[in-house]
Amino acid sequence: MALCEDLPLVLGGAAANCTSTDIHTASYHLVGVDLQNLDRLREKLDMSGVQDYLPTLLLAECVLVYMREEEVHRLLSYFANKFHTALFINYEQVAFYRPLPIFSHFLN
């Protein structure tokens, strides 16, 4: 994986451990996981050594819109209960004036 090979240069010599879904260094963890599967999410966060008392950035890009409302509620409740201080950034595509967003044409 070229990205993983280049990470030590970007991170000032920090060794990186990469899988097809995750990137881990001593001070950085990027995990890919199905957010509907909270057991697997917990497992990956535990394996990463995430410390819930430290400030944490959670980023969801174009994902919550594809989840059922109750799944989103479970996920956000889990994050709210787990982390003492966290910032959750959610980015979704939005169409303000069209009855059918153009983006949805690509999904059909």
Burial classification of residue 42, based on how many CB atoms lie within 10 Å of its CB (0-12 exposed, 13-18 middle, 19 or more buried) = middle
- Max CA-CA distance within the chain? 50
Pairing of strands 23-24, 86-91: unpaired
Residue spans of the domains in the chain: they are 1-30, 34-107
Region for 12 from its dihedrals, namely left if φ exceeds 0, alpha if ψ lies in -120 to 50, beta otherwise: left
What are the tens digits of pLDDT across the range 44-61?
999 888 899 999 888 888
pLDDT at residue 47, as a whole number: 87
pLDDT at 53: 95
Q: What is the pLDDT of residue 36?
A: 92
Q: Give the pLDDT confidence score for residue 43 in this predicted structure.
A: 94
Count of positions (residues) in the chain:
108
Task: Give the residues of the chain that fall short of pLDDT 50.
Answer: 1
Structure confidence at residue 21 (pLDDT): 84
* The predicted structure's pLDDT at residue 79: 95
Residue 92's pLDDT is what?
83
Element (H, E) at 61: strand 56-61
Task: Evaluate whether 84 touches 49 at the Cβ level (below 8 Å).
Answer: no
* Strand, helix or coil for residue 50: coil
Q: For residue 11, what are its two tokens?
A: 């991170």
